[in-house]
Amino acid sequence: MRTRTILAAAAFAVAIIVPAQASAAALRVVTPTQTVFGATDTQVGSARAYLDSKGQCHALKTNTALGQLAAAAGWTNTGFAAGYSAGLGAYVTKIGGVTAPSGGYWAMFVNGLWAAVGADSQVLKKTDRVLWIADSDYSPKNGPFVFDLVARDNGDGTVTFTGTKVGGPKATPAAGATLSVNSGVGATLDAKGKATLTLAAPWTAVINTFLTTYGSAVLRYST
């Protein structure tokens, strides 16, 4: 059994993991100081239309990332704002009441990779993980960065953890990061960002903040 990925924007943002059978993609929205949406690993469906900042309605394809945001806004009653340009299509300016940084934007990552298309063109699968990060500039090499932590039960009493640093031009292994399990030091992630430990449920695992990565990730699992 494989747990879903957790991404958190602050050390206090605790995420609880349970096996997910939902048919929708997972969504998280973070800033350097808070988790705006997705304090738990949350699967969200996708709306088929949205209102832009001028109140104009635009139809969307099935299962787009922008439709996912619209669905989350309706679900939580927090709202989001998106402008529309005939040349650019939709562009997100506010999520959960948080406006994109001055001089920056809301950056979208899908499965750890910077999205090459707009949110209204990004069609999601149910296994996808969508992360929106409030980025203070438009340079992907500068980050900001958050952690992506995945745990896989190997079925033999061991669990393999994989940590990934997300937010730059490409996802990279969280090599050298400290993985703490049940409030004790579990392991240092290897060059591939991995560590395998012998564990019995229940357990809580945390990958700690380091370098320019501003978020820690927490996984909890119990039978």
CATH of the domain at 106: 2.170.130.30
> Residue 56 domain-assigned?
yes
Q: How far apart are CA 202 and CA 212, in angstroms?
A: 31
**Final residue of a structural domain among 108, 140, 172:** 140
Same domain as 136, residue 45: yes
Q: Give the total number of structural domains in the chain.
A: 2
Q: For residues 54 and 140, give the distance between their C-alpha atoms in angstroms, rounded to a whole number.
A: 29
Tell whether omega for the bond before 144 is within 30 degrees of 0, i.e. cis: yes
> Residue 7 domain-assigned?
no
pLDDT score for 123: 96
Q: Which of 175, 176, 179 shows the shortest CA–CA distance to 161?
A: 179
Structure tokens belonging to residue 174:
């969280």
- In this prediction, residue 5 carries a pLDDT of 35
Structural domain boundaries enclosing 212: 146-221
Mark which of 86, 114, 140 sits at the end of a domain: 140
Domain identity same for 151 and 123: no
Q: Specify the pLDDT at position 198.
A: 94
9 within domain boundaries:
no
pLDDT at 37: 85
How confident is the model at residue 218, as a pLDDT? 61
Pairing of strands 80-85, 194-198: unpaired
Catalogue the E-assigned strands of the chain.
Answer: 25-30, 35-44, 49-51, 57-59, 80-85, 89-95, 98-99, 105-110, 113-114, 129-135, 146-153, 158-166, 172-173, 178-181, 184-188, 194-198, 203-207, 217-221
- Print pLDDT tens along the chain (223 aa): 333 333 333 222 222 222 333 358 988 888 877 778 876 668 899 999 999 999 999 999 999 999 999 999 988 888 789 999 988 899 999 999 999 999 899 999 998 888 989 999 999 999 898 989 898 888 777 778 888 777 889 999 999 999 888 888 888 999 998 898 888 878 999 999 999 999 988 888 888 654 444 455 566 665 4
Q: Are residues 132 and 151 in the same domain?
A: no
User: What was the pLDDT predicted at 45?
Assistant: 92
Same domain, 202 and 133: no
Are 146 and 21 in contact by the 8 Å Cβ rule? The answer is no
In angstroms, the CA 16 to CA 39 distance is 8
